[in-house]
Amino acid sequence: MNKIVPLLFLAMLGTLNSNAQVNFSEHIAPIIYNNCTSCHRSGEIGPMPFTNYQEVANWAGMIQYVTEIRYMPPWKPDKNYSNFVGERGLTDDEIQLIADWVAAGAPQGNPDLEPPLPNFPTGSQLGTPDLVLEMAEEYFIEGNNQDDYRVFVLPTGLTEDKEIAAVEFRTGNSRAVHHALMGFETNGAAAALDAQTPEYGYVSFGSFGMPDDGTFVSYTPGLESIRYPKGMGKVLSAGSDFLIQLHYAPLPTDEIDRSSVNIFFKEANDPITRPVQKTRIWPFDLDGGWLSFVIPPDEVTAFHGTKTFTEDISLVSIYPHCHYLGKDWEVFAVTPSNDTINIIKIDEWDFNWQGAYVFDRMKKIPANSTIHFNATYDNTLNNPYNPSNPPQEVSWGETTTDEMFIVGLNWVPYQAGDEDIIIGEDTTTGIEEVISNAGMYLYSPYPNPSNGAVTLNYYLDKRQNISIELFDIKGTLVHTVVSRAVHQPGNHKVEFNVGHLPDGAYTIRLSGEEGILTKPLIVSE
């Protein structure tokens, strides 16, 4: 008996090996279709579709890279620290399987064994909205490679206060809309600001440019909307104007946007008995007070602030916010009995993937706990997103060259049993958006950092003359990858070597007839 078992085992291993050569149909399609295709398909925010073997195989090397560095699927908070609704991520085994598949030459396997694409919901993810507010007109976004931050005022026309179960932002143009803050106000101040200029909407960078009467969970690409749990919600006032502050990302081509908001009222049998409250942590809460929020040039600076609630509370969601110098965040509570409660940890802050995070379960923070807020800012040239070169002293402000230190907390007074409430239980992932494949697109170089070969992909919508150049941090041209060559429309790939360049941060610049696109590249051993 003892001898038979190992023999049998070996025999089984043998069959496993020969049948189970890693292939797309059996092994890779389930990973990609379940973790990537929700965003990577036509009409969604991912820049290329992954809906069949060929589309995935074309990008095999890059898929291996972005999954190994855990850049995709995008999920910023540390999942071993705390958990939120709609978490994304691959297991180590799945990442290894992708690497094995690429090493084996990305074989297709037997197409009959490929699973069908998941059934992606279209339209609203939360059901039929009770009220839809749409931008009154199309907004024209000039293709000038500049950020555009703008508030649009959407009159609600409500004749009575309404209890809100959920709001769902629906972008009209997912190539352009990078994030949306949502709130409301009741005294007509926003409408007055809008009326000052003939253009639709008004300019405002970090917020609504005036005090609001309430806010709702913000939108970023791929983040799902949730309904508040039973008895909880916010009230939208009669006669209020709904405000959306949109960040349109820099684009080389003109775009138009007409976004809308779906509003869901509380059901008659589920009135709000526990209104959701908002507390904002900002530099007033820092150890050194407001004036200590100064980030010197050429340094990495850490800030620490605290907040204490004198009653037991249950956290619903959290929104950490800073700009391009932000490096990491950690928020935790220490209870009066010296227990530590993890709240959120983001090791690599990424402005482009900022967002509000909704806890998977209500998170109880006992009365008189000290909540610690730690954030670090990298104001050196090692930070490829540093908007200033040379680095400048930076303090509070609303533009992208200023910084912020904000954490928004949504909470309710604690009630027994809150720990068992699973938030957003009935939501499904995925969002419906519109993507047009117009213009040019420069993908991130990989690997990045690199000390040798670099692969760069880009997309052109029409035949044109392009150049690709590499600049160092001082803006000096150090390498020409493509020198004014005519390219056909479609996807292109170029490989080049940076082994000869000194360590440091570089910028790759693609110049075409429709504009200029850039991506950072780090050269390092």
Which residues contact ligand HEC by CB under 6 A? 35-36, 38-40, 45-47, 59, 62-63, 66-67, 72-74, 88, 90, 221-222, 352, 443-444
Token pair for 81: 């620290």
Q: Nearer to ligand HEC by C-beta: 215 or 354?
A: 354
Minimum Å gap between C-beta 95 and ligand HEC is 9
Q: Which two tokens stand for residue 244?
A: 């959306």
Choice between 154 and 508, CB closer to ligand HEC: 508
As a residue count, the chain comes to 525
Long-range contacts of 85-93 (CB under 8 A, 24+ apart): 85/224, 85/226, 85/357, 85/358, 85/359, 85/360, 85/423, 85/424, 85/427, 86/223, 86/224, 86/358, 86/424, 86/427, 86/429, 87/360, 88/35, 88/222, 90/31, 90/35
Radius of gyration for the chain, computed over Cα atoms and rounded to the nearest angstrom: 25
Nearer to ligand HEC, 46 or 229 (CB): 46
Residue 250 CB, shortest distance to ligand HEC, in Å, is 12
Contacts of 404 by beta carbon, 8 Å cutoff, 6+ apart: 206, 282, 321, 322, 323, 396, 397, 398
Query: Nearer to ligand HEC by C-beta: 49 or 109?
Result: 49
With CA atoms as reference, report the closest residue to 257 among 134, 125, 440: 134
CB of 96 to ligand HEC, least distance (A): 13
CB nearer to ligand HEC: give 201 or 430.
430
Distance in Å, CB of 323 to ligand HEC, minimum: 16
| Least distance from ligand HEC to the Cβ atom of residue 193, Å | 30
Q: Which of 184, 204, 410 is nearest to 319 (CA)?
A: 410
Nearest residue (CB) to ligand HEC, 63 versus 167:
63
241 close to 153: Cβ distance less than 8 angstroms = yes
Please, what is the minimum distance in Å from the beta carbon of residue 41 to ligand HEC? 10
Q: Do residues 194 and 208 lie in contact, with contact meaning Cβ atoms separated by under 8 Å?
A: no
Please, which contacts does 291-295 make with residues 24 or more away whose CB atoms are closer than 8 Å? 293/395, 293/396, 293/403, 293/405, 294/393, 294/394, 294/395, 295/325, 295/377, 295/379, 295/393, 295/394, 295/395, 295/403
Q: Are 358 and 82 in contact (CB under 8 A)?
A: no
Is the Cβ–Cβ distance between 331 and 313 less than 8 Å? no
CB of 67: closest distance to ligand HEC in angstroms?
Answer: 5
Compute the Cα dihedral for 380, 383, 385, 389 and give only its sign: positive
- Are the C-beta atoms of 259 and 171 separated by less than 8 Å? yes
Shortest Cβ 56–ligand HEC spacing (Å): 8
Question: Which residue, 70 or 474, is less far from ligand HEC as judged by CB?
Answer: 70
> For residue 102, which of 35, 144, 147, 56 has the smallest C-alpha distance?
56
Cβ 86 to ligand HEC shortest distance, Å: 9
Q: Smallest gap, in angstroms, from Cβ of residue 510 to ligand HEC?
A: 12
Nearer to ligand HEC, 36 or 190 (CB): 36
For ligand HEC, the closer CB: 132 or 249: 249
Q: How far is the CB of 392 from ligand HEC (least distance, A)?
A: 26
CB of 393 to ligand HEC, least distance (A): 29
Query: CB under 8 Å to 296, separation ≥6 — which residues?
Result: 379, 393
Of the two residues 90 and 243, which places its CB atom closer to ligand HEC in the complex?
Answer: 90
Residues 6+ apart with CB under 8 A from 182: 167, 169, 215, 216, 217, 218, 219, 242, 243, 244, 245, 261
Nearer to ligand HEC, 47 or 387 (CB): 47
Q: How far apart are CA 63 and CA 59, in angstroms?
A: 6
Amino acid at 508: I
Name the residue nearer to ligand HEC (CB basis): 56 or 263: 56
Shortest CB 72 distance to ligand HEC, Å: 3
Choose between 47 and 275: whose C-beta lies nearer to ligand HEC: 47
Q: Which residue is nearest to ligand HEC (CB)?
A: 222
